[in-house]
Amino acid sequence: MPEDNAMSRVWISRTEALKRLDVKPQTLYAYVSRQRIAAKSDPSHPRKSLYALDDVERLSRRAPGRAAGQVTAPASAPVVSLGGGTVTRGEAAIDTEISITVNGRHYLRGRDCLELAESENFEAVAALLWQSPTPNPFGPLKPRPDVNFPGGPRMRVLSMLARRLEEDAMAELHSDRDLGVEAAGLVNEMVDSITNGGPRLFFHQRLARAWKVYDTKDVDLLRRALVLSADTSLDEATLAARAAAAAMGPLAIPLNVAFATMTGPKLGGRISRAELYVTQVRRQGNPQLVARTLLNQGLELPGFEKDPSPSEHLRARNLIEAAPHMGEDLKTILKVGEDMTGQPAGMSLALALIGRHLDLPREAPMTLYGTGRSAGWLAHAIEQMQSGAGPKARLRYIGVAPRVVASELN
C-alpha cells in the first residue's frame, strides 16, 4: 500500500492492532501482505512493526459476512464499544470527533491528554472539548448567591442539578443557543455547590480553597486530576449522557443523568472502595496482609481492577508521579498492589492516594473525578445534540412469546 501520506498517519503497535481487529497474528500479517493494512518499522524497535490506524479501523468495522470493501462507518471515524472491544454485529456504534485512545494514550480533539495535564487548566480543556463559538465560555459567568446546599458533596451536586433542571425546563430553548456557555454555567455551578461559593478563581483553586489545600504543588495536583479525568473511553455514564441529550432538552439533563450514573458501584464506586482500602491499610499498618486477605477471598484488589479503560493506567501513573513527595506508607500501598496483582494501578487508586496525601474530605476523590468528567459528558451531549439524531440502537425482544388476543388475529 502506498505510504505517500505516512508522515500524517497515526501508527499503532502490533498489540493494539490485534486488539482492535480481534484476529490472530497470522491474519494481521495476511492483511499486510495483501496491502490491506500499511505497515512500517518501529523507529524505537527496528525488529518490530507499526500499523496504520485508519486501515485497522476500516477493517475492524466490517461485520461478519460483509463483502470485501463494504464498511459500516466512514474510515475516519473511530468506532467504540461499551465493553471496550471491537464493535461486532448487532452492537450500537457511535461516531465521535471528541476523543480516541491509541497505544494507551488518550487524545482529546487530537491533543494528548497527558501533555494537556502538564500545563493546561481544566477550563481550557473543557473549552477545547466543547468547541464553543465563544472563545472563553467561562468569561460571561457571574456568581450566584444561592449556592449553599445541605449534605455531602455528592448530594450538593445532585441538588444543584435538580434545581437547574427545574429552572431550565421553564426556559425557551432556541436553536441558536450557545451550548458552550450553557455547559460552562453548569460546571461553574457544580463547583460552587461543592465549595459553597467563594472568589472567582480557577476551578482547581476554588476546590483547593474549600478543602484547605495550600501548598502550590498540592494545588496543582488538583488541576492535573481534573484534566486527567475530563474524558475517558465510552462507558455507561457517557452513553447515558448521549442518550439523554438526544431529547434536545437543557444540558442539565444529560449532566444529571451522567453524574448519577457515575455514582454507581461500577464507576464512582471503585473510587469509594479504593478510599476504604487505603484507609484500612493505613489503620492496620500491614498492606501485605490486607491485600492478601482480599485476594484470598476471591475479591479484586481495589484500584487494580482487570477491566479499566484503555488509557487508565497511563493517566493514573501520570497523576501519581506528579506527587513525588507522597508519604512512604502510600507509596508502599501502590507497590504491594502492583506486586501482588501483576498490573499497574488505575485512576481509582490514584485518586484515593491523592485524596489521602492531601488529607481531603471523604468523597472528595469521587467528587473531583465527577467534576473532571463533567467536561467530557457535556462534550458528548453537545456533539449528540448537534448531530440531530439519537444513538442508533434497537431493542430486541428475547422474552416469553406474548399471548396474542384472538380478536387481533382477525
The tens digit of pLDDT for each residue in 121-137 reads 999 999 999 998 777 89
Highest mean pLDDT among 64-73, 126-135, 355-364: 355-364
Residue 407's pLDDT is what? 58
- Residue whose grid cell is 447515558: 240
Residue 308's pLDDT is what? 75
Average of per-residue pLDDT across 136-142:
87
**Enclosing H/E stretch for 12:** strand 11-12
Residue ranges per domain, the chain?
6-95, 112-387
Residue 295's pLDDT is what? 92
* DSSP letter, residue 2: -
The tens digit of pLDDT for each residue in 93-128 reads 788 899 999 888 999 999 999 999 999 999 999 999
The CA distance from 104 to 16, in Å, is 9
Contact residues for 362 (Cβ-Cβ < 8 A; gap 6+)? 152, 275
CB 343 within 8 A of CB 217: no
The tens digit of pLDDT for each residue in 288-298 reads 999 999 999 98
The tens digit of pLDDT for each residue in 233-251 reads 889 999 999 999 988 889 9
Q: What percentage of the chain carries pLDDT values higher than 90? A: 51
**Enclosing H/E stretch for 48:** strand 45-52
Q: Considering the domain delimited by 112-387, tell me its CATH architecture.
A: Orthogonal Bundle (1.10)
The answer on pLDDT for 73 being more than 70 is no
Contact residues for 250 (Cβ-Cβ < 8 A; gap 6+)? 164, 165, 168, 169, 171, 173, 182
Residue 119's pLDDT is what? 93
pLDDT band, residue 171 (cuts 50/70/90): low
Residue 405's pLDDT is what? 66
Q: Which three cell numbers stand for residue 47?
A: 525488529
Contact residues for 66 (Cβ-Cβ < 8 A; gap 6+)? 72
